[in-house]
């Protein structure tokens, strides 16, 4: 059964004055500091277009790379799923859990508008707008992992429990049984 903790109201918007990076992305380092997270932003110094390249850059298995995937319905409703590694999200399961139907991957412009971060560097918490978040059980079961750090070339080493707490996330099994990628 999915678990939903009480959201941390102070986590609804990033700390600071908002738009501080030259590319108009929210400064995730400010969010980390404001919330006292035991998290670290790292710049591996290599292009990381895939989970496998990010895992290799950090010297961890793909399961310790957490991807933050934003889905959007035709009506404009969004939900974020935090999944690990090369696992493929079961979109029908997400629809069933949220009641949001006809979900598709959000376009990069929507990702930026909703989260304040570019697609490919989206962290799992600290978004511009509050959207429902589902953390897959495989992510929640790990003490920590690496997720988007606010820009495509950055990662953040973050505790899974902090993701669940700050996002007010539901924890549920949302991975497709064939485990392909999405």
Say if 64 falls within a structural domain.
yes
Q: What are the average pLDDT values for consecutive 10-residue runs of the chain, which has 182 residues?
A: 37 34 64 91 90 95 97 98 95 98 98 95 95 98 96 95 97 85 50
Residue 141: both structure tokens together: 């079961």
Say if 3 falls within a structural domain.
no
Can you give the residue range of the structural domain that contains 141? 16-172
User: How many domains does the chain fold into?
Assistant: 1
Alpha helix positions (H), 59-151: 91-98, 108-115, 137-140
Could you tell me the pTM of the whole model? 0.84
* Contact partners, residue 173, CB within 8 Å, separation at least 6: 93, 136, 137
Say if 1 falls within a structural domain.
no
Tell me what pLDDT residue 79 has: 99
Say if 87 falls within a structural domain.
yes
Say if 5 falls within a structural domain.
no
Say if 120 falls within a structural domain.
yes
Tell me what pLDDT residue 20 has: 33
Say if 179 falls within a structural domain.
no
Question: For the domain that residue 73 is a member of, what is the CATH number?
Answer: 3.90.960.10
Say if 62 falls within a structural domain.
yes
Tell me what pLDDT residue 49 has: 87
**Is residue 57 within a helix (H) or strand (E), and if so which, with residue range?**
helix 51-58
Tell me what pLDDT residue 14 has: 35
């Amino acid at each position: 059964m999915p678990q939903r903790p009480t959201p941390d109201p102070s986590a609804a918007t990033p700390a600071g004055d908002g738009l501080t990076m030259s590319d108009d992305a929210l400064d995730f380092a400010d969010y980390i500091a404001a919330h006292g997270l035991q998290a670290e932003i790292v710049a591996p110094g290599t292009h990381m277009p895939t989970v496998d390249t990010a895992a290799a850059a950090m010297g961890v298995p793909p399961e310790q790379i957490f991807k933050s995937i934003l889905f959007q319905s035709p009506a404009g409703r969004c939900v974020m799923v935090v999944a690990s590694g090369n696992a493929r999200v079961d979109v029908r399961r997400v629809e069933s859990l949220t009641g949001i139907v006809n979900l598709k991957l959000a376009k990069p412009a929507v990702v930026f508008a909703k989260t304040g971060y570019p697609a490919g560097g989206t962290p799992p918490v600290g978004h511009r707008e509050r959207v429902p978040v589902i953390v897959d059980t495989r992510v929640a079961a790990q003490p920590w992992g690496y997720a988007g750090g606010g820009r495509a070339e950055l990662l953040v080493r973050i505790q899974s429990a902090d993701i669940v707490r700050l996002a007010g996330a539901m924890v549920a099994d949302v991975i497709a049984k064939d485990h392909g990628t999405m």
